[in-house]
Amino acid sequence: METSLILIIIATAFVNNVVLSQFLGICSFLGVSKQVKTSASLGTAVLFVITLSSAVTHIVYTLVLAPLNLTFLKTIVFILVIAALVQIVEMFLKKKAPQLHKSLGIYLPLITTNCAVLGVALKNVDMEYGFAQSVTAGFGTALGFLIAIVLLAAIRERFDDSDVPEAFKGAPIVFVSAALMAIAFIGFSGIKF
Amino acid sequence: MMKTIKERLFNGIIKENPVLILMLGMCPTLAVTTSATNGFGMGVATMAVLIVSNLVISALRKYIPDNVRLPAYIVIVASFVTLVELLTQAYVYDLYKALGIYIPLIVVNCIILGRAEAFASKNGVFASVMDGIGMGIGFTIALTIIGLIREFIGVGSVFGLNVLPESYPGISVFVKAPGGFLIMAVVIAIMNACKIKTKANKMVEEGCDGACATCSKAENKAEDCASCPSKADCKEAKGGDK
């Protein structure tokens, strides 16, 4: 059955938002969401890496692992591919786009351990997506991550002005905000495709 | 010997509980704790990987070259995760179905790589295994508790057994995504309230000792260090004195 690519984007970015309903990439979602500007940089870097890695892992899976009956090795192979890819992207940006590289800074290497990247790659295999669908799903997922992290950062910037109960200061209030955002995003699953 | 065991177990379960204190491994913590059984299963799977990878990494710590140690650790961890995935698929298929994509994602669970880097790469085999057991039990306990609360409020059962009367409708939002965030917030807030003076609520962050405002490399100077966007540059600047 042919699934329209636009529907995949909407489904992955909003209905099944990677952070707020799939719980992938929580570490960076909580760790790097203190300021809108930095979270937007991280989101862009993730967007870049996930789109690229879903393309590369799809090629590796269909052309190397599947013909050789080595699909059980996908976890090991994917994580190595992603680590290598992040390294290459970093070197490439450093040389060709130093400005962008500088603004992404340390977030680039940290993306290797962002479980959203590996999660998308594994999910594409589970869903038996073709090449175009894999790349679109990767892009949509990363777009969802970007939206979620920027929204959370915008909320967190306002915590300074608000009177948070002592016990809820720090991590708990961030979780409460994330919970409220997740409730809002549940609304999207009312729209079934 | 006994002292190591006691100290490591205490450290993993209470003092440095990976979920509740260190805030590591959030993804599986929130994603699979829709029931106590799932939380427990995930905890045990992670503990198995943690113990074996700690064992192997500490045994090989003198042979792994320092500059390729992270890729080497990742390959070791990924191998054991694949093993665990195949074993759960073969012997506990229901759990394998319930945990789904989160089993292979144990690879990128920060707890495992974190313990490899922080403990197993510096300590002997026995202590590392004990550390793996302690951390694993701490992780399992935290996941089971969160799963228990979510399952109880969400569907009114404990480990799959109905404990509340049939007429209890279940507040289904607690077994969905927002419930995970909410229960996590409340559990941490309760722990904070218990020891509010020790400032347990600091996030896993490294500041730059308040040097941010004076750091020459930092483009966007921030009032407080934790929110400084140029933290990494800042650390470099302090070391290199640019």
The interface pTM score, or ipTM, of the predicted complex is 0.82
The 3-state DSSP composition of chain A as helix, strand, coil percent (nearest 5) reads 80, 0, 20
Name the residue with higher pLDDT: B212 or A39. A39
Pull the structure tokens for residue B56.
């192997």
C-beta separation of B129 from B110 below 8 A: no
| CB interface of A with B, residues 135-164, below 8 Å | none
**Dist CA A80 CA A72 (whole Å):** 14
pLDDT band at residue B218 using 50, 70 and 90 as cut-offs: very low
pLDDT band at residue B84 using 50, 70 and 90 as cut-offs: very high
> CA-nearest residue of chain B to A157?
B227
Per cent of chain B over pLDDT 90 is: 20
Shortest alpha-carbon distance between residue A5 and chain B (Å): 23
pLDDT in tens, B17-63: 888 877 777 878 888 888 888 899 999 999 999 999 999 999 998 88
Which residues have C-beta within 8 Å of that of residue A157, sequence separation ≥ 6?
A: A34, A35, A36
pLDDT of residue B30: 85
**Which chain A residues are within 8 Å of B189, Cβ to Cβ?**
165, 167-168, 172
**Which chain B residues are within 8 Å of A182, Cβ to Cβ?**
176-178, 181
Residue B157 is given by DSSP the state: E
C-beta separation of A42 from A149 below 8 A: yes
CB pairs under 8 A between A and B: 145
Name the residue type at position A5.
L
pLDDT band at residue A150 using 50, 70 and 90 as cut-offs: very high
Residue A167 is given by DSSP the state: G
φ, ψ for residue B215, nearest 5 deg: -70, 130
Which residue, among A53, A75, A145, A188, would best test binding to B if mutated, counting the most B CBs under 10 Å from its CB?
A75
**Which chain B residues are within 8 Å of A170, Cβ to Cβ?**
192, 201-203
**Dist CA B1 CA B140 (whole Å):** 24
C-beta separation of A144 from A108 below 8 A: no
Per cent of chain B over pLDDT 70 is: 80
pLDDT in tens, B154-199: 888 888 778 777 778 878 888 888 888 999 899 888 888 886 655 4
**Which chain B residues are within 8 Å of A165, Cβ to Cβ?**
189
pLDDT in tens, A58-103: 999 999 888 888 888 888 888 888 888 888 888 888 888 787 777 7
Give the DSSP letter string of B72-102.
HHHHHHHHHHHHHHHHHHHH-HHHHHHHGGG
**Which chain A residues are within 8 Å of B82, Cβ to Cβ?**
72-73, 75-76
**CA triple B102-B104-B105, angle to 5 deg:** 55
**Inter-CA distances, B191 with B12, B194, B197, Å:** 16, 5, 11
